[in-house]
């Protein structure tokens, strides 16, 4: 008789609502560099997770996390070919209910979120 374990987890979702400004500096007719600075909100939905094995089961449910967020970016554009790097960060907190062996604990978790984005594209 084998040992069986089951885990179910929804998707983790983040939404960045940002506003800001940027600077652009032409170095020549075909080359320019730029920067982007933004602030805003990070809305993060932590997944519902449930698990079971043999005779144990449990789950984790969480509130939606909302936090102040920021972004810094820089790039270069050469003959309309654009290379950008951007770094986003925020630290939402979640009120979580953790259930295990019939007992539920309510905890607050701070879970930082960072995103490094590297983009290569063409400007039309």
Reduced to 3 states, what is the DSSP secondary structure of residue 4? coil
Q: Do the domain assignments include residue 99?
A: yes
pLDDT, one tens digit per residue, over 12-71 is 899 999 999 999 999 999 999 999 999 999 999 988 999 888 778 899 999 999 999 999
Dig out the tokens for 84 from the structure: 């950008």
pLDDT, one tens digit per residue, over 65-122 is 999 999 999 999 999 999 999 999 999 988 999 998 888 999 998 889 999 999 999 9
Q: Do the domain assignments include residue 4?
A: no
Residue 17 is part of which domain span?
9-122
Number of structural domains (the chain) is 1
In eight-state DSSP terms, residue 111 is: -
Q: Do the domain assignments include residue 105?
A: yes
Rg (the chain; Cα; Å): 22
| Per-residue pLDDT at 1 exceeds 60 | no
């Amino acid at each position: 008789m084998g040992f069986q374990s089951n885990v179910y987890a929804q998707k983790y979702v983040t939404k960045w609502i940002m506003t800001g400004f940027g600077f652009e500096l032409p170095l020549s007719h075909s080359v320019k560099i730029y920067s982007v600075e933004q602030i805003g909100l990070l809305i993060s939905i932590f997944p519902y997770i449930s698990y079971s094995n043999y005779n144990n089961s449990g789950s984790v449910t969480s509130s939606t996390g909302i936090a102040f967020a920021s972004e810094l970016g820089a790039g270069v554009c050469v003959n309309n070919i654009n290379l950008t790097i951007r770094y986003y960060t925020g630290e939402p907190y979640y009120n979580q209910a953790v259930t295990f062996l019939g007992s539920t604990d309510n905890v607050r978790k701070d879970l930082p979120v960072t995103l490094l984005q590297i983009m290569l594209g063409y400007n039309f």
